[in-house]
A and B are shown apart, each in its own frame.
Chain A
């Protein structure tokens, strides 16, 4: 089950791209059986899974853009998943989830300062 989910694209209810399933967390139910609890996405979680120097470098590069370190991944409780095909579709809209910190930082410091940032090219 987790193999089917890992590295899939996360998509919100309107088709916006949220990130990839970078890692998954299992939880234990009252009867002691493990179940899929949470999907994790973000450079921190991905860096840990990639491992090695490459993974650390990537996580460190992403952390340069945030103030609170280490960078916490975005946690998506599994019940928010609506369906799974070639992507993992969520029941919520992207705005209801915390915005990715790197995206926010780049928006504030770079992209929004360039004229025309609010207009789609088509």
Chain B
């Protein structure tokens, strides 16, 4: 019974770590513009995040060291510092986008303009990071995030033409919008599923919870169940957008459109559940991105980090945490549109993907760290193929963004 509970909690953490504002926006946009044509991207992204999170978790359990810690050992001080700067910028922009998502979710529920909620969201996120027992929060937000399942339910409630839906998943294409826009959305959706902060967070969490080799099976189980559940929720978002937004010709400019299908199906109750789910996933992701930014800095410099020690014993870690949340709030207070910010965030995440994933693959094959727990040949083949996809996404992201003027 206790084992079952522990497994459930691990899965909840993984679900909470998977779905965030990037998925909400990218999945809905993909569905509204191209139907189910991007389902394969989501599938590829889930396979990639499962494979690499498993490696990061194994590295954490066997060596007791988190990802960024080893990035510096493998890449050397200088290259790793450039990597740190790039990863930090991407993670803080992601944090800002998540805070924007929190503010938009609260506006959806209250009708009060989102900008007012930005400082409140920032303060609340910081307060949770400062005081709360983190595993508890992670599970609460993971559980509340499961409310996104309302999108899957809406799909059954609405008069969905399942045959057409299935057909557009296998034979969908650029749908008259141009291949440039199709691939732009594909890159954004891929980046939203394999966000680097997910692995920073996952491996640092493993180190903090003092995983050993005995916990490997549990960690693997929560990854292999939790991330696919997250992927299923994202697929439900694409599907409802395909069924509702696309025929109506609606584009996604805010979370209202993302929530529109469940409002159509369930009215005010649907709106409430969707707003709760959006709040939970974005708030949970804001916590994780804030921590990830501070983890990366602390692990590069070797500072004391983590939630197990008091803030006064880890002052540099907590200072970076505080500064990162402040930067996120300031970025939003420039009145930049949070949805546009999310799109930019996904593109720069895509560019930065190899900075995180390449070192993980290298360390996962290093016997001096992992002994006989290095990758097997099958996982290596898969991971190398996925790394090629990651590299391709990274290389084409900027040209696509410029060439299509952010997917127009």
Pairwise interchain contact B78-A9, C-beta atoms closer than 8 A: no
Please indicate the chain B residues that have their CB under 8 angstroms from the CB of A46 in the complex.
77, 301
Do residues B65 and A87 form an inter-chain contact, with CB atoms below 8 A?
yes
Q: Which residues of A contact B253 (CB under 8 A)?
A: none
Per-position 1/0 for A2-35, Cβ under 8 A of B: 0000111110000011111010000000000000
Chain A residues, CB < 8 A from B319:
106, 110-111
Bound Cα distance A58, B309 (Å) = 26
Q: Which residue of chain B is the closest to A54 with respect to CB atoms?
A: B81
B81 adjacent to A111 (CB under 8 Å): no
Contacts A106-B315, A111-B312 given; does A17 touch B77 at CB 8 Å: no
Whether A116 sits at the interface, judged by CB under 8 Å, is: yes
Known pairs A51-B78, A87-B65, A103-B303 / 10 extra A-B pairs, C-beta < 8 Å: A7-B76, A16-B313, A46-B77, A50-B78, A52-B78, A116-B130, A116-B131, A119-B311, A121-B131, A121-B133
Residues facing A in B45-86 (CB within 8 A) are 63-65, 69, 72-73, 76-78, 80-82
| B322 neighbours in A (Cβ, 8 Å) | 110
Give the residues in chain B near A67, CB-CB below 8 Å. Answer: none
B227 interface contact, C-beta 8 A: no
Shortest 6 CB-CB contacts between residues of A and residues of B: A20-B302, A122-B133, A19-B302, A86-B63, A121-B307, A106-B315
Is B116 part of the contact surface with A, judged by Cβ < 8 Å?
A: no
B117 at the interface (CB under 8 A from A): no
Check A107 for interface membership: any CB of B closer than 8 A: yes
Q: Which of B65, B131, B311, B313 contacts A9 (CB 8 A)?
A: B65
Min Cβ gap B293→A in Å is: 16
Q: List 15 A-B contacts (CB under 8 A).
A: A7-B72, A7-B73, A17-B304, A41-B302, A51-B78, A54-B82, A58-B81, A103-B315, A110-B322, A111-B311, A111-B318, A114-B130, A116-B131, A121-B129, A121-B307
The residues of A that contact B303 with a CB separation of less than 8 Å are 17, 19, 103
Q: A54-B78, A54-B81, A122-B133 are in contact. Are A10 and B311 (CB under 8 A)?
A: no
Q: In whole angstroms, how far apart are the Cα atoms of A6 and B302 in the complex?
A: 12
How many angstroms from the CA of A43 to the CA of B135 in the assembled complex?
A: 32
Cβ of B138 to closest chain A Cβ, rounded Å: 12
Q: A118 an interface residue at 8 Å Cβ cutoff?
A: yes
Number of interface residues of A (CB under 8 A): 39
- Docked Cα-Cα span, A107 to B312, in Å, equals 6
Interface range for B? 35 or more
Q: Are B65 and A121 in contact (CB under 8 A)?
A: no
Given contacts A9-B65, A87-B65, A121-B130, contact A22 B73 (CB under 8 A): no
Question: Is B395 in the interface zone, CB < 8 Å from A?
Answer: no
Chain B residues near A17: list those with CB within 8 A.
302-305
Q: CB of A64 within 8 A of chain B? A: no
User: Which of A41, A43, A120 interacts with B308 by CB under 8 Å?
Assistant: A120
Q: Is B369 an interface residue (CB 8 A)?
A: yes
Shortest distance in angstroms between B262's beta carbon and chain A's nearest beta carbon?
35
In the bound complex, how far is the Cα of B69 from the Cα of A17, in angstroms?
A: 12
Interchain CA distance A21-B93 in the complex, whole Å = 30
* A39-B308 Cα distance, complex, nearest whole Å: 27
Closest CB of chain B to A53's CB: distance in Å? 12
A9 and B81 CA atoms in complex are apart in Å by: 15
Which A48-107 residues have C-beta < 8 A from chain B?
Answer: 49-52, 54-55, 58, 86-87, 100, 102-103, 106-107
Output the nearest chain A residue to B319 by Cβ-Cβ distance.
A106
Rounded to whole Å, the gap between the CB of A92 and the closest CB of chain B is: 15
User: Could you tell me if B315 and A111 are in contact, using CB atoms closer than 8 angstroms?
Assistant: yes
A50 proximity list for chain B (CB < 8 A): 77-78, 81
Task: Say yes or no: is B316 at the interface (Cβ < 8 Å to chain A).
Answer: yes
CB-CB under 8 A for A103 and B65, given A46-B77, A120-B307: no
Nearest CB on A from B317, distance (A):
10
A96 CB → nearest B CB, Å: 16
Whether A16 pairs with B77 at a CB distance below 8 angstroms is no
Asked whether any CB of chain A lies closer than 8 Å to the CB of B132, the reply is: yes
Q: What 1/0 flags go to B226-261 for Cβ under 8 Å of A?
A: 000000000000000000000000000000000000
- Alpha-carbon distance between A116 and B302 when the two chains are bound, in angstroms: 24
> Which residue of A has the minimal Cβ distance to B63?
A86
Among residues of A, the one whose C-beta sits closest to the C-beta of B127 is A116
- Among B73, B81, B129, B309, the most chain A Cβ lie within 10 Å of the Cβ of B73
Measured CB to CB, the closest approach of chain B to A108, in angstroms, equals 9
Nearest CB in chain A: distance from B303 CB, A:
6
Q: Which of A7, A110, A116, A119 contacts B77 (CB 8 A)?
A: A7
